Structure 1
């Protein structure tokens, strides 16, 4: 049975990915802070492993990965997904606590999960595995008034490249998926904010979150001799090409 840990598994893209992998028969580690929600997702899925942890807590992250490997035997894939989008504004309007929170979750959390996943994959037999980082099209073309999110997601792209390079010696592949406007609570909230600022604005174009999950499944299902380095999957009519 193939194995995967999904961070940020309690909602949005992470939850959709976790549920899809469970339906496909994978052993899935559900990592997020809200244990009650994880228990709900795991119900009726004996192959689910609940890993209640905060991705910004180094000790909690390491304990969660160690617990998963002890129960599942190995870690084939990490979907490194947990992230937040804080209140918008120009850089002088952004609260410093929002900047620090964005860096702590979107970058430090990604680093800590990747670090624990890389170590597990490096020392297991047979050696190797795959890390899939959830980036964002914001790493290339940001939304207005989103400096913390755009900056941290750009940093994730650098992390992906470094992991890809450093993982070659250990048969560890790393790729990144950049998702645009999947219908998640975060994207819906961004849409509400935009309409509040400009009630005459057109509603944003979105796509089903399950389509993003299917893209992650494709990346994860590849043999380790093949890798999707970067994938962009987005709502067809959203203003990305030509935006700005």
Structure 2
């Protein structure tokens, strides 16, 4: 029997995967409250308007301690629980950039958002979930095991998220908290849309890659969010059919 979460938090809900997942979750669980987190209020309101159920907007930067604290205080005070956290917020600030040529201020910023954003939200979610249990889902990437060329900042971050996922799964066990690493490859969003025209391969060539509809990721998240508390998915990979991943390069 599918579980029915009451409160779901999605970070990076301003667009792309976050927006698609918010809409799908609102349709799958019409009685739940969706907390939509992001830095752009106007975009969050667009996401909320596309959802069919109750939404709550939390404007802020997940890499900022004060913003995360404020968001979780709101969730605690208004709802007293959190059933699902989708750590989705992320950036790719240094695509196609060799490590030795990278602007280290941008590198640090990418790590701060992609890693510390998930760390801060996970820590706060565990504090809230300790009494009731819950499910944490981290937006990883196939780059957590198979990087693209000249993508060190993104690759380092996604490897770190895998470590966070495994630690959370282990340390959350005694509280009934599960954690899934959702590794995604070539979902049709602005961040990776260029791959359909041509993406750098390990041999240096540019080749177009297959893409999948972002709705496929949303369907997967609905499945994970609705799992009963007696089931856990430690890691799940969803990729565009035929993309160069297994044996990449």
Same fold per superposition (TM over 0.5): yes
Match of 1:21 among 20, 25, 43: 25
Shift of 1:37: 1.1
- Which residue in the other structure is 1:137 paired with? 142
CA distance in 2, matches of 1:241, 1:109: 29
Shift of 1:136: 0.5
CA distance in 1, matches of 2:213, 2:194: 16
Kindly indicate whether residue 79 of structure 2 is the aligned counterpart of residue 72 of structure 1.
Answer: yes
Match of 1:94 among 85, 95, 102: 102
Structure 1: runs of 5+ lacking an equivalent? none
Kindly indicate whether residue 114 of structure 2 is the aligned counterpart of residue 106 of structure 1.
Answer: yes
Match of 1:179 among 179, 184, 199: 184
Range with greater deviation from structure 2 (142-151 or 62-71): 62-71
CA shift in 2, pair 1:194/1:102, >3 Å: same
What is the aligned length? 237
- Which residue in the other structure is 2:58 paired with? 51
CA distance in 1, matches of 2:157, 2:195: 18
Please report the TM-score for the alignment, with normalisation by the length of structure 2: 0.90
CA distance in 2, matches of 1:60, 1:82: 14
Maintained 8 Å contact 1:10/1:32: yes
Over the aligned positions, Cα root-mean-square deviation in angstroms equals 1.7
CA deviation map 1:144-196 (0-9, x unaligned): 1000100110010000010001001111111110000000010114556748x
Range with greater deviation from structure 2 (184-193 or 73-82): 184-193
Maintained 8 Å contact 1:6/1:14: yes
